Every structure is written in structure tokens, then in C-alpha cells.
Amino acid sequence: MKKGVYIFAGGVIAAVVISFIFYREITLLSFINILFLISGMMIFASLFALVAQGGFFDGISYSFRKTFAVKEMSREELEEMRPFSELVSFRYTPLLVGGGTLAALMLVCLGIFYM
């Protein structure tokens, strides 16, 4: 939970800095736009890790290995290669929590903007 708070704080600081760099001012609309992009990327990355760690892409990567195998590799070497789900090994929960809270903050700011 602590990492999620750090990710949330870093996302807010990054949104303010990027808003100031690209728009040359910090307005509520520019903050909402940048916060949408940052939270969307965080949520997308965490959901991709969730799906990849679940083994969804293992069959696809195994079939690509069999199809495009190098001629010098034996069948045992192909079987010993790690599946894709073992290669994606970071914890996605803090990223999902941080991205979700940033999206919630963006929605609150959007509500304030349209009031």
C-alpha cells in the first residue's frame, strides 16, 4: 500500500511538471489532460502485467518458438526456455492502485471543472 501512495504522489508531481512544461501554465484543464494520460498508462501497464502473469501469452510465445526455431536448437533447448508469464515478474498491484487513485483524482477534478 505504501508503494501505491508513492506512485500516486509521483504521478501528481509528474502531472504538474509536465503540464507546466507543455502548456507553459498550470490550469485545471491541462492538469486533467496530463493526469488522464499518466493514469491511463499506469492502469494499462498493470493490467497487461496481470494478464501476462496469468499465462495468457504462454501459448502464443510457445507456438512462435516452435515455428521460428533456429535450426541449431534441439527440442530440449526449446522446451527449457522460460514461458512469457515467468518473464513478467513485477508486482502490478501498487501500479494499479496508484493509477486507479490518479484516475479517481482526475474524475474529481473533471467534476470541479464542469461545475
Q: For 55-76, write each residue's pLDDT tens digit.
A: 888 888 777 777 776 666 676 7
> If we measure between CA atoms, which residue out of 57, 65, 46, 47 comes closest to residue 86?
57
Provide the pLDDT for residue 71: 62
Helix axes 28-53, 93-113, angle to 10 degrees: 150
Residues 46 and 101: their CA atoms lie apart, in Å, by 13
Averaged confidence pLDDT in the chain: 87
pLDDT value of position 76: 73
pLDDT value at 8 more than 80: yes
In angstroms, what CA-CA distances link 62 with 15, 24, 34, 56?
A: 40, 49, 38, 11
Which residues have C-beta within 8 Å of that of residue 27, sequence separation ≥ 6?
A: 19
- Judge whether residue 20 has pLDDT over 80: yes
